[in-house]
């Protein structure tokens, strides 16, 4: 599509979006919730290596759009609170995530289950701490690594600040939920990038996708919107440039916020590990997909039948599941890998040798984070760590009926790809090839899909027990629920 036509479409979409967002259709209702929001700019203020692609050869040189951490606090009628944090970043390693959650807990009293960190997985953000370490191991000089470490330190405080500000600004609001749609995500394992336009025209796009756009919206007593949460299952990989950018999720959030003063729009990535925005690689496409996603949200907000009220209270559970690897290399095999012709195999082996030298064995399992929130009696919101393929969302939506089921990937700790049994058996990048870039020592066990789905279902059901035991007051407790920050309960 020519660039001027694309620009006209984006402009037309903006006009539609503004009209939709300003449509005051909802009848007045007594707000029973309190909602607070905050945004903190996390665009690096010095040159920094960019995350997501191994092929980059130098640090960022410009900015297409600012990067943000956005926080939204919910408080139910009984005073129970949850805070969603949305970050324009590729992901985060477990250590940094734990440090942030512990700092938030110490300063706000939130339990681990009440805080969810969601990463947009933009590939136009900075390297974050030790995330994807083999990609950069021994490739950066001391000054470059020092800037990465300083950024991680500053980010920790910025996230804490955003959460505190959101909690400080709790105000009465109504909560509404609905589901929109956007169709630019395509299964990247089953559709060649060069063929996608033709396949779409012929209605022959292959493979599973999830085109739902779940929406949660907080409405002020004066009818304006204070906060919008929206999800989509697709890699944020339109761009591979050297400029900071939130990619399509960043443009979608910017679009929603620019059309409604003081509204904060929080994106969460769904199970889009095997989905790409196609076609891609042009700035106007990132803007166009952002506009499409924002319109998908705005259409839900504008139609009376599109939104349902959220009634009831909050409940939350968090657990860490010891997720098994299929096999772990011996020390001899690691030493062999350290001589590999592949730079990333060598980097992973070097990191493993450092670990072995301290007397620690290579782990046979990974403490995999799962989290479930109930938003009133209407929505169950599941947060899974890692790059989760779309099969998980489709399976969990069908396994957990009776409420709207939303499934976020890229939540709390992005430690690896999380293939389904099908994708694991098929192999390829998402099925095991990508493990080297995250530094985990082997492929996942074929049981991981069953273990994760069973653990999520068990955790969700434990929220029911929580209600029975605690008389409706949401606390961390019950089977499989981790009551402490950073300490996992071992699920069966």
Report DSSP state, residue 195: G
CA of residue 28 relative to chain centroid, distance: 33
Token pair in block for residue 199: 């396949």
Instruction: Name which of 25 and 53 has its Cβ closer to Zn ion.
Output: 53
Q: How far is the CB of 188 from Zn ion (least distance, A)?
A: 10
Residue closer to Zn ion, measured from CB, 75 or 387? 387
**Residue placing its CB nearer to Zn ion in the complex, 387 or 460:** 387
Query: Site map for Zn ion, 350-369, x if CB under 5 A?
Result: --------------------
Classify 443 as helix, strand or coil: coil
Please report where in the chains the tokens 């203020």 appear, as a residue: 45
CB of 256 closer than 8 Å to CB of 294: yes
- When the beta carbons of 272 and 376 are compared against Zn ion, the nearer one is 272
Nearer to Zn ion, 122 or 466 (CB): 122
Q: Which CB atom, from 90 or from 300, has the smaller least distance to Zn ion? A: 90
Nearer to Zn ion, 387 or 449 (CB): 387
344 phi, psi to nearest 5 deg: -75, -35
Tokens of 200: 């779409």
Across the strands, what pairs with 83?
Answer: 73, 115
CB of 397 to Zn ion, least distance (A): 22
Output the smallest distance, CB 387 to Zn ion, in A: 5
The Cα-based distances of 14 to 10, 173, 258, 287, 293 in angstroms read 6, 26, 10, 11, 12
**Which CA distances in Å does 387 have to 100, 183, 257, 328, 344?**
20, 20, 27, 21, 19
Question: What SS3 state is found at 193?
Answer: helix
Q: Which residues lie closer than 8 Å to 217 by C-beta, 6 or more apart?
A: 175, 176, 177, 178, 225, 227, 228, 229, 300, 301, 307
Instruction: Quickly tell me which residue has 């060598």 as its tokens.
Output: 346
Choices 370-378, 382-390, 445-453, 468-476 (CB under 5 A): range interacting with Zn ion: 382-390
Q: How far apart are the C-alpha atoms of 155 and 40, rounded to whole Å?
A: 10
Q: Which residue is nearest to Zn ion (CB)?
A: 387
**DSSP-derived secondary structure letter, 55:** T
Smallest distance from Zn ion to CB 52, Å: 7
How do 225-232 and 212-219 pair as beta strands?
antiparallel
Select 387 or 476, whichever has its Cβ closest to Zn ion: 387
Nearest distance from C-beta of residue 413 to Zn ion, angstroms: 14
Q: Which residue number, 247 or 387, has a Cβ lying nearer to Zn ion?
A: 387
Tokens of 375: 């938003």
CB of 269 to Zn ion, least distance (A): 9
Closest CB 235 distance from Zn ion, rounded Å: 5
> Pattern 383-402, binding to Zn ion, x per CB under 5 A?
----x---------------
Q: How is residue 307 annotated by DSSP? A: -
227 CB-near residues (< 8 Å, 6+ apart): 35, 37, 72, 173, 216, 217, 218, 263, 264, 265, 266
Nearest distance, CB of residue 353 and Zn ion, angstroms = 27
φ, ψ of residue 15 to 5 degrees: the values are -60, -45
Minimum CB distance to Zn ion smaller for 302 or for 389: 389
* Beta carbon of residue 244, minimum distance to Zn ion (angstroms, whole number): 18
CB of 236 to Zn ion, least distance (A): 9
Q: How far is the CB of 414 from Zn ion (least distance, A)?
A: 8
Residue closer to Zn ion (CB basis): 13 or 246: 246
Binding to Zn ion, residues 12-31 (CB under 5 A): none
Instruction: Show the DSSP H helices in 388-447 as ranges.
Output: 390-399, 421-426, 428, 435-438
- The neighbouring-strand residues paired with 244 are 63
Q: Position of tokens 């089921």?
A: 405
The count of other CB atoms within 10 Å of the CB of residue 391 is: 21
Binding mask 123-162 for Zn ion (x = CB under 5 A): ----------------------------------------
- Binding window for Zn ion (CB under 5 A); candidates: 141-149, 365-373, 379-387, 436-444: 379-387
CB of 90 to Zn ion, least distance (A): 8
Q: How many residues bind Zn ion (CB under 5 A)?
A: 1
Q: Which stretch binds Zn ion (CB under 5 A): 157-165, 218-226, 380-388, 408-416?
A: 380-388
In the block, residue with structure tokens 């405080």: 157
Closest CB to Zn ion among residues 76, 387: 387
Task: State both tokens at 344.
Answer: 């990333």
How far apart, in whole angstroms, are the C-alpha atoms of residue 258 and residue 424?
42
Under the rule (CB under 5 A), what is the footprint of Zn ion?
Answer: 387
């Amino acid at each position: 599509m020519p660039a001027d036509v694309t620009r006209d479409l984006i402009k037309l979409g903006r006009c539609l979006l503004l009209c939709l967002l300003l449509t005051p259709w909802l009848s007045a209702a007594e707000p029973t919730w309190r909602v607070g929001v905050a945004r903190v700019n996390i665009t690096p203020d010095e040159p920094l290596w960019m995350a997501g692609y191994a092929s980059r050869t130098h640090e960022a040189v410009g900015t297409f759009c600012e990067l943000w951490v956005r926080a939204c606090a919910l408080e139910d009628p009984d005073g129970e609170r949850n805070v969603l944090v949305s970050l324009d970043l590729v992901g985060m390693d477990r250590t940094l995530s734990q440090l942030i959650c512990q700092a938030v807990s110490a300063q706000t009293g939130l339990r681990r289950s009440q805080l969810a960190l969601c990463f947009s997985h933009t590939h136009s953000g900075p390297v974050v701490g030790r995330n994807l370490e083999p990609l950069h191991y021994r490739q950066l000089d001391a000054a470059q690594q020092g800037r990465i470490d300083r950024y991680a330190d500053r980010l920790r405080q910025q996230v804490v600040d955003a959460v505190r500000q959101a909690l400080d600004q709790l105000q009465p609001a109504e909560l509404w939920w609905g589901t929109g749609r956007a169709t630019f995500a395509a299964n990247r394992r089953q559709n060649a990038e060069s063929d996608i336009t033709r396949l779409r025209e012929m209605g022959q796009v292959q493979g599973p996708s999830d085109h739902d756009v779940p929406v949660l919206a907080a409405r002020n007593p004066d009818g304006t919107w204070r906060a919008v949460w929206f999800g989509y299952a697709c890699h944020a990989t339109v761009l591979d440039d050297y400029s900071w950018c939130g990619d399509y999720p960043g443009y979608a959030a910017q679009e929603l916020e620019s059309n409604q003063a003081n509204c904060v729009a929080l994106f969460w990535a769904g199970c889009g590990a095997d989905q790409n925005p196609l076609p891609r690689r042009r700035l106007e496409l990132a803007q166009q997909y952002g506009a499409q996603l924002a319109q998908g949200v705005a259409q839900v907000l504008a139609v009376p039948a599109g939104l349902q009220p959220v009634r009831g209270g909050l409940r939350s559970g968090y657990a860490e599941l010891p997720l098994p690897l299929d096999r772990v290399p011996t020390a001899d095999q690691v030493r062999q890998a350290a001589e590999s012709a592949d730079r990333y195999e060598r980097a992973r082996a070097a990191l493993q040798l450092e670990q072995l030298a301290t007397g620690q064995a290579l782990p046979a399992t990974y403490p995999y984070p799962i989290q479930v929130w109930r938003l009133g009696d209407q929505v169950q919101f599941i947060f899974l760590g890692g790059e989760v393929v779309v099969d998980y969302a489709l399976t969990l939506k069908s396994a957990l009926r009776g409420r709207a089921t939303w499934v976020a990937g890229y939540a709390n700790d992005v430690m690896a790809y999380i293939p389904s049994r099908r994708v694991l058996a098929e192999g390829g990048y998402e099925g095991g090839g990508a493990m080297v870039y995250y530094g985990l020592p082997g492929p996942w066990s074929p049981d991981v899909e069953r273990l994760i789905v069973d653990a999520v279902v068990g955790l969700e059901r434990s929220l029911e027990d929580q209600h029975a035991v605690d008389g409706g007051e949401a606390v961390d407790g019950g089977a499989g629920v981790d009551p402490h920050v950073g300490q996992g309960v071992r699920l069966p």
